[in-house]
Structure 1
Amino acid sequence: MIKIIIHGCNGKMGKVIAKLAAESPDFKVVAGVDKNTSPLDFPVYSDLKEVKEEADVVIDFSYHEAVPDMVKAAAQKKLPVVIATTGLSEEELKVIEEASKEIPIFKSANMSLGVNILINLVKEAAKILQQDFDIEIIEKHHNMKKDAPSGTALMIADAINQVLNDKKEYVYGRHTKTEQRKPNELGIHAVRGGTIVGEHQVIFAGHDEVITISHSAQSREIFGYGALKAAKFIINQNPGLYNMEDLVKKG
């Protein structure tokens, strides 16, 4: 049985992880960390440093500003970490990279297997269509989401740009623009409303034809299942930085 500490346990995704772990014989939540220390079915602390329970892994669905202190504490405790928090700054990413020299860290802006398959498909399409098709990304999320564009949209854009040798220039919406679209643009657009869990579309627009590759999340549980799979994967790895591509390769 894998013993989990949930960092951000009183958030929406933290509660999803707790529910899924409780329903599985393979996982047990031994403690939680959250600025809201309201008790759950396990002890809840305000800081990972305070956690007394023995654990195998930390799963993080929190806020980007809380991640650096969390990974530092995890490194001190020699605990592997799964990071699903988005909106991380360059400075925060550097802290994660530094900690990964001491512990294995799994980081992905989206824990859905489906989204990561979409990324693989989009990369192949971009290689073939890059000369004659314009590429645009549209992402939609609920009205409580704080970061825009989504971490997943940026992950998709970065994957496209990687296979195109960084030829594309990111354009975030086109408000106030009064000029023709440039061939090297990659448009990224965010929609916020209602209770949309998460939708991502990649549009390849050519002459008289449009190809759209899309993914729609129907519930938050798909991200929870992905995080638990990542936890099972990361506890057996050496120190380093891992992502969903490593998990997909493992099968």
Structure 2
Amino acid sequence: MIKVIMNGCNGHMGHVISDLIFDDDDMEIVAGIDISGEGDCSYPVYTDIFNCKVNADVMIDFSSYKATNRVLEYCGQRKLPLVLCTTGLTEEQLNLVSKMSRETAILHSANMSLGINVLFKLIQDAAKVLAPAGFDMEIVEKHHRLKKDAPSGTAIALADHLNQALDKQYHYCFDRSQRHEERDSKEIGISSVRGGTIAGDHDVIFAGTDEVITICHQASSKGVFGKGALEAARYLANKPAGLYDMSDVIAG
């Protein structure tokens, strides 16, 4: 039985993961962390992460980037593997993630969906063929109105995977409103839409002369991220210190 500490247990994703683990025969949540208090959780909840002394095999974190430094410190001190699902991390925090992965196993991904992580591979294969043939590349991401960061971490990750496939020759364009010039052939455009209850849509557009290829991923609910997080936690438990991502989970 894999014992899990859920950080951000009273948030929407905390509830999603709690429900998924409740129906899982191989995992259980032994404690939760949330500044808002106990809520309606069936397990003990701590408002201060450092007050949680419960033994566990892995922590799943779906909280806020504002809490990430303390989460990393806590897991580093306890050598507790961490599935870090929080988005919007600063460059300084990403460097801290890398540093703390020397102390414990950390799996960090911009998107926990298994489908999105397969998409990363598909778009790289497409880019290697289409970009040299003169196709322009654009990314459009759509999320619910409550999402605070833009563009999404997944959109940046998609752009990074395209760029990596093309020897990092491209730069990113987030806003053309003040530009009055033709599109640079070496740019990847990234656009954001916020509205309603969109769980998460990402379109990668390859626009060529007289033809357009669009590869898209649509999340119908946040459950897909929860399922991915559980697979990540299952993979990461008992792993040695190091920095992992969802490609490791998919590869097995």
**Contact 1:123-1:160 at 8 Å conserved across structures:** yes
Deviations along 1:52-109, one digit per CA (max 9) or x if unpaired, are: 2211110000111211111111111111000011110011111111110010000001
Counterpart in 2 of 1:21? 21
**Contact 1:48-1:74 at 8 Å conserved across structures:** no
TM-score by length of 2: 0.97
| Rounded Cα–Cα distance in structure 2 between residues aligned with 1:45 and 1:93 | 26
Which stretch shifts more, 91-100 or 191-200? 91-100
After TM superposition, give the deviation of residue 194 of structure 1 in Å: 0.1
| Rounded Cα–Cα distance in structure 2 between residues aligned with 1:129 and 1:98 | 37
Amino acid at match of 2:236: I
Counterpart in 1 of 2:82? 81
* 1:246 partner SS: helix
| Rounded Cα–Cα distance in structure 2 between residues aligned with 1:217 and 1:156 | 16
Which stretch shifts more, 169-178 or 195-204? 169-178
**Contact 2:81-2:238 at 8 Å conserved across structures:** no
Deviations along 1:145-189, one digit per CA (max 9) or x if unpaired, are: 011000000010011111111111100032122111010110000
| Rounded Cα–Cα distance in structure 2 between residues aligned with 1:86 and 1:60 | 10
| Rounded Cα–Cα distance in structure 2 between residues aligned with 1:119 and 1:214 | 11
After TM superposition, give the deviation of residue 12 of structure 1 in Å: 0.8
Counterpart in 2 of 1:145? 147
* 1:130 partner SS: helix
- The answer to whether 1:54 aligns with 2:55 is yes
| Rounded Cα–Cα distance in structure 2 between residues aligned with 1:137 and 1:35 | 35
Counterpart in 1 of 2:38? 38
| Rounded Cα–Cα distance in structure 2 between residues aligned with 1:47 and 1:96 | 20
Paired residues, number: 250
**Contact 1:141-1:198 at 8 Å conserved across structures:** yes
* 1:201 partner SS: strand
Counterpart in 1 of 2:225? 223
Which stretch shifts more, 131-140 or 35-44? 35-44
* 1:178 partner SS: coil
Give ranges in structure 1 of 5+ residues lacking alignment.
none
**Contact 1:149-1:188 at 8 Å conserved across structures:** yes
Counterpart in 2 of 1:241? 243
**Contact 2:144-2:197 at 8 Å conserved across structures:** yes
Deviations along 1:120-161, one digit per CA (max 9) or x if unpaired, are: 100000111112100000000000001100000001001111
Amino acid at match of 1:190: S
Counterpart in 2 of 1:135? 137
After TM superposition, give the deviation of residue 27 of structure 1 in Å: 1.1
**Contact 2:4-2:30 at 8 Å conserved across structures:** yes
After TM superposition, give the deviation of residue 42 of structure 1 in Å: 1.1
4+ residue segments displaced more than 4 Å: none
* 1:214 partner SS: strand
Q: 1:183 aligns with which of 185, 199, 205?
A: 185
Counterpart in 2 of 1:9? 9
**RMSD between aligned residues:** 0.9
1:120-131 equivalences in 2 (<5 Å)? 120-131=121-132
**Contact 2:38-2:44 at 8 Å conserved across structures:** no
Amino acid at match of 1:175: S
- The answer to whether 1:209 aligns with 2:211 is yes
> Taking every aligned residue pair, what percent have the same amino acid on both sides?
50
Amino acid at match of 2:32: G
- The answer to whether 1:96 aligns with 2:117 is no
TM-score by length of 1: 0.97
